[in-house]
């Protein structure tokens, strides 16, 4: 669900989304959601224990950074033809992919304990995430085209909000 919300927010920032951008975000979100449980499964209990204490802070920081950047870019004045930041490229793409999938490391550990066949489960998780991300991108693009800067700011706030939600859930559980 975090990948869905982030994909909507990212495409809102773009307003018009190309098939290449949809593919890039869906592929990377799906790939990271596939890989993180595998990494958690392979890492074993000792490494996951170390990450588990910090994963919520990492996810919060990454989402707050990207969301804050989106809000800043929406508020700053710019020329009509000036290029907009593209969250489906470069460092933003990697940070969003990592932030939406970091909790899956613990899922991978759980899969190891439950003796779940990791490859099938991770492939299913990755494919579902990719499909959900594509849907979110298409919905967000329409919202961005129709409502402009206000929805762009809302998209940034959603990213920050997801980061806060992840942080609060982990702090309340611990």
Summarize pLDDT for 23-82 with one digit per residue, the tens.
Answer: 999 999 999 999 999 998 887 655 656 666 777 787 788 778 877 877 887 787 554 434
Single out the residue of 128, 151, 132 nearest to residue 74, CA to CA. Answer: 151
- pLDDT tens digits, one per residue of 8-37: 888 887 877 899 999 999 999 999 999 999
Q: Does residue 170 surpass a pLDDT of 70?
A: yes
What is Dmax (Cα atoms) for the chain?
56
Q: Does residue 101 surpass a pLDDT of 70?
A: yes
Show me where the domains of the chain are located.
2-173
Residue 82: per-residue pLDDT: 47
For 152, what's the count of Cα atoms within 13 Å in the CB-facing half-sphere? Answer: 20
Enter the pTM of the model: 0.72
DSSP helix/strand/coil, 18: coil
* Distance between start and end Cα atoms, the chain: 22
For 96, what's the count of Cα atoms within 13 Å in the CB-facing half-sphere? Answer: 35
- pLDDT tens digits, one per residue of 110-162: 777 667 789 999 999 999 999 999 999 998 888 777 777 777 788 788 878 88
């Amino acid at each position: 669900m975090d990948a869905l919300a982030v994909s909507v927010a990212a495409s809102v920032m773009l307003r018009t989304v190309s098939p290449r951008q949809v593919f890039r975000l869906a592929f990377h979100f799906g790939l990271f959601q596939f890989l993180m449980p595998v990494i958690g499964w392979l890492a074993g209990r000792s490494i996951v224990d170390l990450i588990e204490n910090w994963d919520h802070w990492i996810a919060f920081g990454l989402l707050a950074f990207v969301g804050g950047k989106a809000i800043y870019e929406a508020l700053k004045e710019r020329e009509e033809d000036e290029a907009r930041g593209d969250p489906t490229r470069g460092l933003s793409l990697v940070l969003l992919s990592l932030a939406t999938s970091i909790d899956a490391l613990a899922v991978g550990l759980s899969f190891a304990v439950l003796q779940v066949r990791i490859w099938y489960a991770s492939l299913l998780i990755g494919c579902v995430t990719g499909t959900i991300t594509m849907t979110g991108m298409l919905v967000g693009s329409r919202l961005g085209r129709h409502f402009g800067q206000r929805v762009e700011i809302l998209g940034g706030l959603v990213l920050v909000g997801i980061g806060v939600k992840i942080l609060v859930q982990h702090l309340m559980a611990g």
